[in-house]
Amino acid sequence: MTRALIKGPVGDAALPEVDMSTSLGGLALPAPILTASGCAASGRELDQFFDLTSIGAIVTKSIMLNPRSGRATPRMAETPSGMLNSIGLQGPGIDRFIEHDLAWLEERGARVIVSIAGGTVDEYGKLAARLRTVRSVAAIEVNISCPNVEDRGQVFACRAGSASDVVHAVRRHSDPRMPLFAKLSPDVTDIVEITDAVVRAGATGVSVINTVLGMVIDTDTMRPHLAGVTGGLSGPAIRPVAVRCIWQIRQAFPQLPIIGMGGVRSGKDALEFVLAGANAVSVGTAVFHDPSAPSRIQIELQRALGARGFRRFVDAVGFAHRPADLPREEDPDEFDFISE
Amino acid sequence: MAVQVRGEILDVRRAGAYHVLSLTAPGISENVKPGQFLTLGIGGEESSMLLRRAFAIHRVQSRGVYGGTLDIVVGVHGKGTKWLVDRRRHDPIDIVGPLGRPFVLPKEPVSTVLVGGGYGSAPLFMLAEQLRERGCRVDVILGAATEEKLFGALELKRLASTLTITTDDGSLGQRGRVTDVLGSLMQANDTAVVYACGPMPMLQRVAEIASDQQAYSQCAVEEAMACGIGVCMTCVLPVIGEDGVTRMLRACTEGPVFRGDRVRWSDVGTIPPDTLGAPTAGGH
C-alpha cells in the first residue's frame, strides 16, 4: 500500500525487463492485470488514481438488461482480511451502460471486458445480442455466479446444466470470434465439472473465482448484519480458495485461458495465481483498500517475475505445475526477495 | 479531483469524547471545500482491515513547514478507529481526498443556520467561515447526548452570530434535541438555508423543519462506506432526482451532501418500490 501512494513508478529501482503481454484465447493484452468485475464500476472513478490504459483491461461491473436498484442497506460488512457484500447488481441497464460508460471507456482508450448478468437464460442471450453491435468490447465475462440474487437456485454456476445453458445462449448471440469467459463460483463440489460444461457450451475460458457465500451476524442487534442476510465474501481471506480452483482447472485443462481473481493484494499474490495457471489476474477488493492497486500490483508482479529470472510473463503461467524433478536454471536461494 | 498521498500524523489530541488528528496531506489540503471528506487506509500494508475509514475534513491549512495539513475528528467505534487514535507523531498514513460533493453556498448574503449532531459539527467550521466571508448570517445549533459528546462549542461560538446548545441529558445548554430549537431560531432570524451534519434521524427532522419554513436544507449524511470513491456501491440511499425519479445514489460521490428535500429519509435502508430498477413482485 505505501509503495504506490504518489502516481508514477513504484520504487526507485528500474523495472526489470519482462515481456508482460499475455493472451486470452485470441485476445492479446499488453499486460496481465485487470480490474475485477464489481470492484471498479466502469473504470471512470479509478482513472484519477492510475492510468486505465496501463493495465491489461478494465472488467466492468456486471450489467443487466434493465436498470436495477440493487438491494437494501446495509450491503457490506468488514470481516477478517475480507469483506462481505450484498449489492445485488445495482446498475443502469445495458442501453445506458453502452451509451454512457462504454463510450467513455472507448474514448479513454482502455481495453474493456464487459461483464454481463441475467435473471434468465434468455436475458443473457439478449445482452450478448445487444453487445454484438458495440465495437469496443474486447471480451465478455459471463457472470453466472453472483451470490446476491433472491433465489439461490438462480446461481447458474452451481449446476453444470444451467451453467452450460447460459454460456450456450451467449455464444449463440455473440460474434463467433468474441472471447467469452464464464465466471464461476467456488461454492461447488467439483469446479472442474462446471468448467468442462461451460467449455463444451462455447466458453473461450473461465474467470475464477467469484465471491464465496458467507454471512455475518451482528452480536449487538443479534440479527444478520446484511439486509440481504447472506453475501459474497471477498478479499485476501479467500485467496487460497482461488489458488486451489485455478490449480485444479489448469490441471484438467492445460491450454484453457483462465482469468484468476480472489483476494489479490500484491504482486506476489498475483504471481501465486499465475504460477497456479492464470493467464491474467483481476484485482478486486484490494481497490477498496488502495485505489491504485491494479497498477501497483502490475509493477510489483513485473519485479517479482524479473527477480525469479522470467523474461516473459507467459513462461510463468502454470509454472507451479512442472514436474518435481524439473530443476530451475537458477538456485532459488539466490533470488533477491528484498528488492520487491 | 481526488488524489492518493502518503501523509504523516502530526498530532493526536483528545477533545471530549473524541480525538482530533492533524495530518500532513500535500496535494489534498489545498483543494478542500466544506463538507468534503477523506479516507484513510487502516492498519498498515498487511492490515486485516481492508476497508478505508471515511472522515469529514474538519479544517485545513494549505501552507506551513509541513506543506498542506488538515484536521479530522475521530470517534472511537471499533478496531479501526482505535488503531488510528493510537498513531504517533510522524507515523505514515495513506490518505485519499478530497472526496464527495461539498455544501452548496448561497450566492446572496442570506441568513443561515448550521446544525451539528455530536462530532457532525466537524465540517461546519470551514463552512461557517466561508459563509461569514460571503456576508451570511450564521447561527449554530450543536447537540449531543451529553456535554462530553459535543464538539467544538467554544470555537464555533466565535464564528457564529449565536450558538445554541442542546444535550439529551441537560448536562450543557438546553435539555432536548437540536430540532426542538431549530424552528424558532429560523423564524427569529428569517433563515433561508439550513446546513446539517449528524445522524440520519436528526437530518430527517432538520430537512422537514426546513421544508415547513420554505427554506433550503443541505444535509451531509454519514453512511457506511467501503471504498469512498464510488466503485463499491455500498453507501447508497434513496434520493429523488430533478426528473422526479428515485434512484439509489452513492453517499460518497453523489453526496455526502444532499438537498434535504430530495432524500427519502423514511426509506433509508430500504429500496422504495418506485425506485428506478426496484425489484418487481417476483423479487430480483
Low-confidence ranges of chain A (pLDDT < 50): 1-10, 334, 336-340
Query: What is the rounded (10 degree) CA torsion for A154, A156, A158, A164?
Result: 150
3.40.50.300, 3.30.70.890, 3.40.50.2300, 3.20.20.70: which CATH number matches A2-339?
Answer: 3.20.20.70
Q: Which residues of A touch B253 (CB under 8 A)?
A: 45
- Nearest CB among B45, B230, B233 relative to A2 is that of B45
> How much is the pLDDT for B281?
52
> How much is the pLDDT for B224?
85
Q: What CA–CA distance (Å, rounded) separates B202 from A176?
A: 57
Q: What CA–CA distance (Å, rounded) separates A183 from A219?
A: 34
CA distances from B168 to A24, A75, B84 (A): 62, 31, 29
- Of A39, A146, A158, A245, the catalytic one is A146
Q: What is the average pLDDT across B46-62? A: 93
- Nearest CB among A39, A67, A151 relative to B231 is that of A39
The residues, any chain, with a CB within 8 Å of residue B106's CB and separated by 6 or more, are B112, B131, B134, B136, B192, B193
Q: Which of A203, A187, A293, A188 is nearest to A256 (CA)?
A: A203
Q: Which residues of B touch A58 (CB under 8 A)?
A: none
- Secondary structure of residue A330 in the 3-state scheme: coil
> How much is the pLDDT for A146?
80
Hey, where are the domains in chain B? 3-99, 103-222, 224-284
Q: What CA–CA distance (Å, rounded) separates A150 from B277?
A: 15
pLDDT at B284 over 90: no
Yes or no, beta carbons of B1 and A48 under 8 Å apart: yes
Number of helices (H), then strands (E), in chain B: 5, 15
A146 is an active site residue: yes
CA distances from B103 to A80, A298, B132, B193, B218 (A): 35, 38, 14, 11, 7
The residue ranking higher by pLDDT, A339 or B188, is B188
2.60.120.10, 3.30.70.20, 1.20.1070.10, 2.40.30.10: which CATH number matches B3-99?
Answer: 2.40.30.10
Q: How many CA atoms lie within 13 A of A109 on its CB side?
A: 4
Q: Which CATH class is domain B103-222?
A: alpha beta
> How much is the pLDDT for A148?
67
Among B3, B4, B39, which would you mutate to test the A interface (most chain A Cβ atoms within 10 Å of its Cβ)?
B4
Q: Tell me the three cell numbers of residue A225.
A: 448484519
For the complex shown, is ipTM > 0.85? yes
Q: Which amino acid is at A137?
A: V
Q: Which amino acid is at B208?
A: E
| Residue-wise pLDDT tens digits, B104-149 | 999 999 999 999 999 999 999 999 999 999 999 999 999 999 999 9
